[in-house]
Structure 1
Amino acid sequence: MKLSRTDVLLMAFCTGLIVANIYYCQPLVILVAQEFKVTESHAGMITYLTQAGYALGLFLVVPLGDMFERRKQILMITGLAVASLLLAAMSSSFLWLQIASVLIGASSVVPQLILPMAANLSSDEKRGETIGIITSGLLIGILASRSISGSVGFLWGWRNMYFIAAGICALLMLLMAKRFPLSRPSFTGTYRELMASMWHYVKTESVLREASMINFLAFAVLSAFWTTMVLFLANPPFNFQTMQIGLFGIAGAAGALAAPLVGKLSSGQNPRKNILIGLILQVGSLVAFYFTGSQLYLFVTGIILIDIGQQAIHVTNQTRIYALIPEARNRLNTVFMSFSFVGAAVGSAIGLWLWDKGQWPVFCIGTTAIILLNIFIYKFFSNKVRN
C-alpha cells in the first residue's frame, strides 16, 4: 500500500493532537503552583517529568513497532494515554500529578510509531516530504497545545484541560482504528534481541550517532526556552496571565510551515547543510531573547527563529536516519528520539536551574553555550559522515 495525500494529512492530524499531551502542562505551571502551594519553579517539574516519561516510552515501547502490528500497538498505547490524562485531571496531590505526568509522557509516543509507518509506505523520493508534512502536524500540535491549554486553564482551570485531552484521545482511537493501514512486522526475534540490536546500530552507524547527539542538544535548547519563557512572561515587566502566555505558541507557526520545505531539501544531496543553518538560526534566536527587555517584537522574532531552526535540525536528521536501514526504522527512530527527549527533559531542568541562578539573562547565556557546543559536534563529525 502507498500513502495518498489524504492518508499523510490524517497521520499529521493524529500526530499533532497526540503529541500535544506532552505540552499542555507548560502554560499551566503557574496555576498548578497556586493550587498545590508550591513555587513556580518546583511546579515546573511536571514539564520535564512528562518529557522524561516520553523518553522512557520511546525506549521501551516504540521498538516493538518492528516486532508487532503497528495499528494495534497504536490503539493500545492511545488507550493508556486516555487513562493517564484522567489520572492527572483527578490528582489529589502534587505527587499524583507528577506520577501522572510521567505516564502521560510514556503513553504519548504514538507519533513515533506513525512516522516509521509513514516512512515505510512512502517512496524514496517522497519520504522526506512525507516526514516533513507529518512533522508539521506534530509542530502545530505542540504550538496549539500551549495556546489552547493557556486559554482553557485561565477560563476553566488546569484540570479541565486534561479532561478535554482525554476526550480527544478517545475520539482519535476510533478514527485511527477505522483509517490506519495494517502493517507487517519486520523483526522475528525476542524482545531482548530487539533491544540489543539498537546498541549494535549505535556502534555501527555514525550518522545515527551524530544525528542523536545533535538532536539531544537542540531539543535541550528548545525545551529550556518553552519551560523558562513561562516564568519570564509571568514576571515583571509583563506580568502576563496563562492565557496570554499560551498565545505566544502561535508565533512558532513559521516553524510548522517550514517543515515540509525542509523535508524536500532533506531528500536531496548533502542534506546535512540544513543542520548548520538550523543551529545558526538558534543562535540568532537567543540573541533576540537576550535583548528583548520590554520589546515583545524581539521576543516573537526569537520564537520564530528558534522554531524554524529546530525544524531544520530535526526533520533533516530524521530523514537521514530513516534512509539507513529500512527494516529497522522503529529501532533507529527509538535511539534518535530517545536521545531527543532525554535532551528535552534535561533542557527543561537546566532552563529552570539557569532561571534560579540569574533569571532571563543567565538563561540566554547558558543556552547559547549549549548551541555552540552543538556546532562543535557538527564540525567534529564533518569528516566522518557524508550526508
Structure 2
Amino acid sequence: MNPQDVDLAVTGYRVALREGVWRTHPAFGVLLLLLAERVRSIRVHAPQMPETLAAECDFALDDPRIRVFPWPVRVNSIGALRHPLRLLRQYRALVASGDVVFLRGGGPMIWSCHWMARRVGKPVIHWLISNPLAALPAAQRGYGRLVEFAGRVYTRVDAAMLRLGLRISRAEVIANGREVAALYRCPRAKVIVSSTIRASDFHDRADTCTGPGVRLLFVGYVRPEKGIEHLLRAIPLVRAAAPVDLAVVGSWEEFPAEKDRLTLLAGSLGIESRVTWLGHQAFGPALFSEMDASDVLVLPSLSEGTPRVLVEARARSLPVVATRVGGVPDSVVDSVDGLLVPPRDPVALAQGIQRLIEDGELRRRLIREGRRRVQGWTVDAFVEDIVGLIRGMPANLPPSR
C-alpha cells in the first residue's frame, strides 16, 4: 500500500477547540503533523474536552490535511459508557472514514473497532500505550468501592475483548514496552519506547548538581498512580549538603483533590516551602526550560507504559531516577543511563536521589549514556515505523463473512 494514497482514520487522544483551531496534546499532535506529511490525509475522531479541563490540549492541528471529527464532550471513560450505542456509532464512522485505521491506546469498547474493520476489510494499526490492569483501584481515585469493583470487572473483560479483537482484525501492533505486549499476547508486536522528542530538541550539558542547591523535577499528571506522595516522603530523607527542592510540572484539573492532599502532606512533612507546583507547561521551550533549570528528574510512578518524559529528560542531559514499573525498564537500564528503584519505597527513592547528588562520576556517565541512548527514540523514527507498516499492508483485506 502506498502511504501517499492512504487516508488514515485515527483516534487516541482528546481534542479541544480554542480560538477556532482544533488542538490536542503535543505527544499526539506532533505525531499527527509528521504523519500528515507522509499520507494523503488524516481524519481524527476524538472526544472533545470541556474548556476547563483542556489545558494540556495546547498543540494546534493547523495542517489542512488533518480534519477533526469531534465526539460529544466527556471528561472520562465512564461518561462514554453511559451511551454505548452512540459510542459504537462513533467507532463505525471512524472505521468508515479511512483506508487504514490507526488506534492509539485503550478506551471504552475500543475492541469493537477491530471487529468493524475486519468486517469491511480495513487494515488496523493499534498502538498499545499501557497496562490498564496495573492502574490504581478506582477507590483511590475517589470513585468509591462499588465503582472500584465494577471497574475491575470491566477492565478485565475489556482487555480480554481487545485481545480477541487484535486477532480478528489481524492488526499490526505497536506496544509501549514488553509488559504491554505480553498482556495482550502479541509476540509479534513492535516494542517501542514512546517519545515526542526530535533531533533539534537535544541539549548537551556535561553535568548537573553543581549549584548551591539541588532542584528535583517531576513531570506528569498529578494523579494517585504517579506516586508523588512517595517522592514527597523521600525528600526529608535525602541527606545532602545542599538544600533539595522539588518542582512539580503537570496538570491537576482532573484530580484537584489529589493536589490538595499532596499539598497537605508536604506541609505535614515540613517541606511545603520547598515544593513548587508549576501546573501544565507546554511541550517545547516552556517544558525544556524547566528541565534545563533542574538537576535530577524523578518519576516515582506506581504504573506506567514507557513514559515520554524519561526520553525527553535524557535528551536534555538531565539524569533520571525512576521506579521499576511497567515499561520503564524497557526505557532505562539501571546504573547505565539512569537509576531504577522499587515503587512505593520513599527510602529507596531517597537513596537513589542522594547517590546521584553525591557521585559526580556516576552522574556524568549517566548523562552521557542517557543522551546517547535516546538518540534512536525520536518521534521521527516512530513515524518511519508507522509508515513502514502502512507500506507493507495489502491494498485490500478480504472482508469477514
Structure 1 length-normalised TM: 0.25
Query: Taking CA–CA contacts closer than 8 Å with sequence separation of 6 or more, which of the two structures ends up with the larger relative contact order?
Result: 1
The structure with more strand, counted as a fraction of residues: 2
The structure with more helix, counted as a fraction of residues: 1
